[in-house]
Amino acid sequence: MNPGDRVRVERADQSYEGVLLPSTTSDNLVVKLEGGYNIGVERADADVDVLERDVYDVGDGETSDSSEVEFDTDLPTISLISTGGTIASTVDYRTGAVTAQFDAEDVLRAVPDLAGRANYRGRVVANILSENMTPDVWQDLAAAVYEEIEAGADGVVVMHGTDTMQFTASALSFMLDAPVPIVFTGSQRSADRPSSDNVMNAVCAVEAAKSDAAEVLVCMHATESDDVCALHRGTRVRKNHTSRRDAFETVGAKPLGEVNYGGGETEVSFRRAHDERGEKDLDIQPELESEVELLKFTPGMDESALDVAEGKAGLVLEGTGLGHVHSGWTDRIAELVDSGTTVVMTSQCIWGLLDAGVVEGEDMLPGTAKVKLMWVLANAADPAEEMREPLAGEIQERSVPWE
């Protein structure tokens, strides 16, 4: 038996089933269970049956160091694009290091459960921590996704660090029209941790990329267990926890859909209206205005904080409550608008600011509003009017958290 094989381990009166992982010693077995956690048992105390061979097992107890992913004409083709992050990393069990070598074979070797679900193409756009993400990389990624779809990909999975995933997903929502799903996924916990979420998130993302929803989606755990992944619209999602596996939430509504993972069968379902596969023609508008700032107002903040927007093309203000800032800021904001800076207030504006020329951002998330403003300033004839229009589901008619 070899790492990657599905095994049943019986010890005393207990039985476990899961995927055999590499072990640091020959005396122990490490098995990843269906619930996502690992167990270790001593070989001498266990009876082991191999239930299913790893896709890379070449027989005679040996595995291949390299492999060719065979093309199956009956399966869709999914492009796997890496920008870095935890999910694109694999574990070198000889050293304990987590590395980010990435191609289609690497992904299948790390996540054997992906085999047989699709044909895969692997591509690296960047290998960076997500906190180092920049608009330039967003543009490179949009171009790569465009090229993959143009070359015949039936769906795209983008592997991305979780800290800034919502910003990149928003950017691609505005930069691309696509006739197929573009699904972002990541991992809150690295592959060397017993509770890693990388396997389930990757499998669910591939299933979502095969679905009929031609949207930019974020696919991450919906609960702390390995049972369901939520499918969030890229412009309405936010990371709300540093480490929980279900850290991502759709703000103001339920997610668009989900992927049921438990029980061995995966099933994609949608509960809300969405763009459908084939409805849109492939198009890209990757231009962005980089001189845009996002400023969060807090009580007692001095008006000089607005100096960050001096000479900039755009400013998004994140106000308190329904979108309030100190009433004494009105004149300074009006000066910014008069000088050519487009100022957007997220959520509902207070009286006075509309007269000062501020654009009402409705219920857009502040981060999404910044990304959208970067895009409309570079692409729209009337940026203020375009900011008021819903372009990619970023503005809702009303926010109903449990609808």
Per-residue pLDDT at 193 exceeds 60: no
Using alpha carbons, select from 157, 233, 239, 139 the residue that is nearest to residue 198: 157
The topology under which CATH files domain 6-63 is SH3 type barrels. (2.30.30)
Q: What would the pLDDT profile of 101-139 be if each residue is shown by its tens digit?
A: 556 677 776 677 888 899 999 888 988 888 899 999 999
185 catalytic? Reply is no
CATH 3.40.50.620 is held by the domain 77-284: no
The reply to whether the predicted model has a pTM over 0.85 is no
Of 239, 312, 370, 372, catalytic: 239
239 catalytic? Reply is yes
Q: Using CA atoms, how far apart are residues 46 and 44, in angstroms rounded to an integer? A: 6
What pLDDT score does 55 carry?
A: 46
Positive or negative: CA dihedral 351, 352, 357, 363 = negative
Of 77, 86, 90, 168, catalytic: 86
Of 103, 140, 163, 227, catalytic: 163
Show me where the domains of the chain are located: 6-63, 77-284, 292-388
Domain 77-284 matches domain 292-388 at the CATH topology level: yes
103 catalytic? Reply is no
* Complete edge-to-edge strand list for the sheet that includes strand 342-345: 292-296, 314-318, 342-345, 359-360
Of 77, 83, 90, 162, catalytic: 162
Q: Using CA atoms, how far apart are residues 323 and 321, in angstroms rounded to an integer? A: 5
The topology under which CATH files domain 292-388 is Rossmann fold (3.40.50)
Q: What would the pLDDT profile of 349-366 be if each residue is shown by its tens digit?
A: 545 667 778 898 888 999
266 catalytic? Reply is no
